[in-house]
Structure 1
Amino acid sequence: MIFTLTMNPSLDRYLYVDDLILDDTIRVKKVEEYAAGKGIDVSRVIREMGGTSVAICPLGGDNGIKIEFLLDNERVLYSAVRIKKETRMNIIVQSLKGQYRMSLPGASLTRFEYELIMDMIKAVPRSGDTLIASGSLPEGLLPSAYFEIVKLCKDMGLRVYVDTDSENLKEAVKASPFGIKPNIYELSRLIGKDLKKDEVGEAVKEISEKYGITDVLVTLGKDGAIAYVDKKLYKMEPIEVEVKSSVGAGDSFLAGFVHKRDNSIEDALKLAMACGSASVMNEGTTLCKKKDVKKLLKEVVIERIS
C-alpha cells in the first residue's frame, strides 16, 4: 500500500480573465478550485494508473472542507487530520498575457497538531508499506520535522521517499530515507554547488553512498532524468512532446516510479518517464492521463550507464 504525506496543502483558486487593467472592473470568465499539494498530486497519479493510495494531510476551516469535497469528487482517498486554523489558499490569475500567482499567508501548525499527524502515521500504514513525504512545511515547524518523519517511518518498517527542497531535504537525508526525488536545482542545493547535467551521475552516487539512500531519482526537465537505484546508474532520454504546463511533472514521475517499484527497476523507470512526460502535455493543473502514458511508454529510452 502506498501513502502520501502533504504537510502543507493548499486550496488553489484559479481566476481566468482576458487582461488585468488598472483601476477598471475586471470580469472573471471562469473560476476553478484545486486541492493542491505535491503528495496529493502523487496520490492522484497513482489512482490514474490503477493503483491505490491514501493521501494524509492536515486540513482546517472552510478551505479544508473544500479540499475534502474536491478530493471526494476525484475519488482520491485521503486521511485528514483536522486542525484549528484555516488551510492556506493560493490565488492564481490567468490572463491572456500570462499568469499571476498570489500566495496568501498560511496558518502555523501547533506542536499538538504535528503530534496528531505523527499519530496518524503510526496508526494507518503498516510495516512493508510505502510513504511518500512531499512538499514544504507549514509555519511553526522546523526543517528537523522531516528528519523526525523519516525516522518514524523507518522505525515502523515503512519504505519512505522524500520530495522536498533546501533545508527540509538536508534534514530528511540525515535520516536515510529509502528514496529521494529532487530535480537538478534541488540536488544542487543539497550538494552545495551548481551542477551541470554531466555531473549529476557522480552526484547521485555521492548522495546515495553518503546517506545510505537506495533510490536517488533526479528529473532534468527537457533533458530527461537520471536515476541511481540499487547501486546502478540509469539515464532516461527525454520524450518529445508539446509542453503546455510543467505543473506536477515531478510528482507524476515519482508516482509512476513508486507504483511499479516492486515489479522491476526498468518497468518503474519507464513508467516514471512516461508519467512525467504525459503530465506536461496538459494545461493548468491537469496531470498525466492513462491513455497518454500508455502511448508514451513505447517511446521511453533507458540506458544503464554503470
Structure 2
Amino acid sequence: MITTITLNAAIDQVYEVDSLAVGGTNRVSTIIQEAGGKGINVAKVLKRSGADVTVGGFAGGINGERIRQLLLKKSIPSELIQVEGESRVCLTVLDSKKSKVTELLESGPQITKQEWQSMLNWIEDQSQSVKWFALSGSLPKGLPTTAYAELIDIINANGAKAILDSSGDALQNGIKAKPYAIKPNEFEIATILGKATVNETDLLDVGKRFVDDGVEHVCFSLGEKGAIFVNQEGYFKADAPKVEVINTVGSGDAFVGGLLYGLANGEEPLIAYKRALACGSVNAMYSKIGFIDSQQVEELMAQITIIKL
C-alpha cells in the first residue's frame, strides 16, 4: 500500500484551443477535467502502474466533493479530510498551434489549526500500517512552512518512508526532517543556494550534502535534459528519452510516481530511476495530467541509459 498526500487538492481543468488569443475570444475544442494537485497526480500514475494506492489530504466545499467523485471514477480510494474552505480549480490552457501551456492556479482554502491537527492524527494512524508515502505540492494557506517536516517526523518515527516534492521553505524545512527521497528541480535548488541559476557541479555538491545529512535518494529533475541522481553509491546522470511533447504539466508528478512505484516494489535504484524518468516522459506525450501508459513506460525504460559520473 502507498499513500499520497495532497494538502492543496484541486480540480484540474484542461482547455485545448487552436491558438490562444490573449484579450480576444477563444473557442475551446477539448475539455478534460480531473482530480488534481501534485499528490493526486502521483496517485493516478501509481494506479495506472498497478499499485495499491490511497489519497490523503484536504478537500472542501463543492469542489472538494467533485474531487472525491473524480477519484472514485478512477477507482482510487481517498480519505481526504473535510475542511471549511473551498478547494481550488487549476486551469490549464493548451495552445495547439504554438504548443504552449498557460496555467491559472487558484490559491485554495485556508486550513485551520484544528484541521491541521486532524491531519497529524490521521498520518500517525496511517503510517503505522502504510510504509510508503508521497508528500507533494505547495502548502495551503494557514499551514506553517514546517508542515511537511512535521509529517515526515511522524512517518519516520513509525518506520515508514516518505518522498518529498515541494519548493521554497516547505522543501528546505522538509529536507531537515530526512525524507527517504526528494525531487527538486534546478529552480528550487537555485533558490536554496541563493543563486539565479545552477550548474551540474552545484547539483552534485548539494546532492552530496543532502545524502550526507540522511536523505537516501536525491533526484534532480531537469526536464528535457533528463535527470541527475545522487545516493550513497555516488552520482548518476540520464538523458531524457525523445518524445513528442503535448503537455508537460504533471510530468514531475509522474516522475515521483514512477520512482515511488519502483522503490516500493524493491527495484534496484537505477531501475527505479529509469522508471521515474520514463513515467515523466510518457506523461508529457498526453493532454491529460498525471497520465501514463504502462507499456510505453517499459519501452522508454529500455531506451534510457544511466551513467555514473
TM-score (norm 1): 0.91
SS in 1 for 2:303: coil
**Matched residue, 2:199:** 196
Whole-Å separation in 2 of the counterparts to 1:28 and 1:240: 29
**Matched residue, 1:295:** 299
Give the C-alpha shift of residue 127 in structure 1: 5.6
TM-score (norm 2): 0.90
Give the C-alpha shift of residue 40 in structure 1: 0.8
**Matched residue, 1:267:** 271
**Matched residue, 1:242:** 244
User: 1:9 touches 1:58 (CA, 8 Å); kept in 2?
Assistant: yes
Whole-Å separation in 1 of the counterparts to 2:276 and 2:27: 40
SS in 1 for 2:235: strand
1:107-256 correspondence to structure 2 within 5 Å = 107-126=109-128, 129-193=131-195, 194-209=197-212, 211-256=213-258
Give the C-alpha shift of residue 133 in structure 1: 0.5
Cα deviations by residue, 1:5-61 (Å, 9 ceiling, x for unpaired):
11111112334455558586x655554322111111111111111111111121111
User: 2:41 touches 2:289 (CA, 8 Å); kept in 1?
Assistant: no
User: 2:251 touches 2:280 (CA, 8 Å); kept in 1?
Assistant: yes
Check 1:281–1:15 CA distance in 2 against 1; reply closer, same or farther (3 A cut): closer
SS in 1 for 2:134: strand
Whole-Å separation in 2 of the counterparts to 1:112 and 1:126: 22
**Matched residue, 1:64:** 64
**Matched residue, 2:5:** 5
**Matched residue, 1:40:** 40
**Matched residue, 2:285:** 281
Check 1:278–1:15 CA distance in 2 against 1; reply closer, same or farther (3 A cut): closer
User: 1:127 touches 1:157 (CA, 8 Å); kept in 2?
Assistant: no
Whole-Å separation in 1 of the counterparts to 2:102 and 2:53: 32
Check 1:287–1:214 CA distance in 2 against 1; reply closer, same or farther (3 A cut): same
Check 1:95–1:275 CA distance in 2 against 1; reply closer, same or farther (3 A cut): closer
Count of equivalent residues: 303
Which sections of structure 1, spanning at least 5 residues, go unmatched?
none
User: 1:214 touches 1:231 (CA, 8 Å); kept in 2?
Assistant: no
SS in 2 for 1:246: coil
User: 1:13 touches 1:92 (CA, 8 Å); kept in 2?
Assistant: yes
Check 1:106–1:299 CA distance in 2 against 1; reply closer, same or farther (3 A cut): same
User: 2:38 touches 2:253 (CA, 8 Å); kept in 1?
Assistant: yes
Give the C-alpha shift of residue 203 in structure 1: 2.3
Cα deviations by residue, 1:94-120 (Å, 9 ceiling, x for unpaired):
455655433334220001011111111
| The 10-residue stretch of structure 1 (282-291 or 104-113) with the greater mean CA deviation from structure 2 | 282-291
SS in 1 for 2:58: strand
Equivalent AA in structure 2 for residue 191 of structure 1: L
Give the C-alpha shift of residue 74 in structure 1: 1.3
Equivalent AA in structure 2 for residue 248 of structure 1: G
| The 10-residue stretch of structure 1 (143-152 or 226-235) with the greater mean CA deviation from structure 2 | 226-235
SS in 2 for 1:80: strand
Equivalent AA in structure 2 for residue 234 of structure 1: F
Q: Does 1:81 align with 2:81?
A: yes
User: 1:45 touches 1:252 (CA, 8 Å); kept in 2?
Assistant: yes
Equivalent AA in structure 1 for residue 300 of structure 2: L
User: 1:20 touches 1:95 (CA, 8 Å); kept in 2?
Assistant: no
SS in 2 for 1:298: helix
User: 2:64 touches 2:86 (CA, 8 Å); kept in 1?
Assistant: yes
User: 2:101 touches 2:247 (CA, 8 Å); kept in 1?
Assistant: no
Would you identify which runs of 4 or more consecutive aligned residues in structure 1 move more than 6 Å?
Answer: none
Equivalent AA in structure 2 for residue 40 of structure 1: I
Whole-Å separation in 1 of the counterparts to 2:72 and 2:130: 27
SS in 2 for 1:283: coil
Give the C-alpha shift of residue 197 in structure 1: 3.0
Whole-Å separation in 1 of the counterparts to 2:179 and 2:284: 28
Check 1:94–1:239 CA distance in 2 against 1; reply closer, same or farther (3 A cut): closer
**Matched residue, 2:51:** 51
Whole-Å separation in 2 of the counterparts to 1:27 and 1:222: 30
User: 2:186 touches 2:220 (CA, 8 Å); kept in 1?
Assistant: yes
Whole-Å separation in 2 of the counterparts to 1:208 and 1:82: 36
SS in 1 for 2:173: helix
Whole-Å separation in 2 of the counterparts to 1:304 and 1:111: 46
Check 1:106–1:162 CA distance in 2 against 1; reply closer, same or farther (3 A cut): same
Whole-Å separation in 2 of the counterparts to 1:128 and 1:234: 30
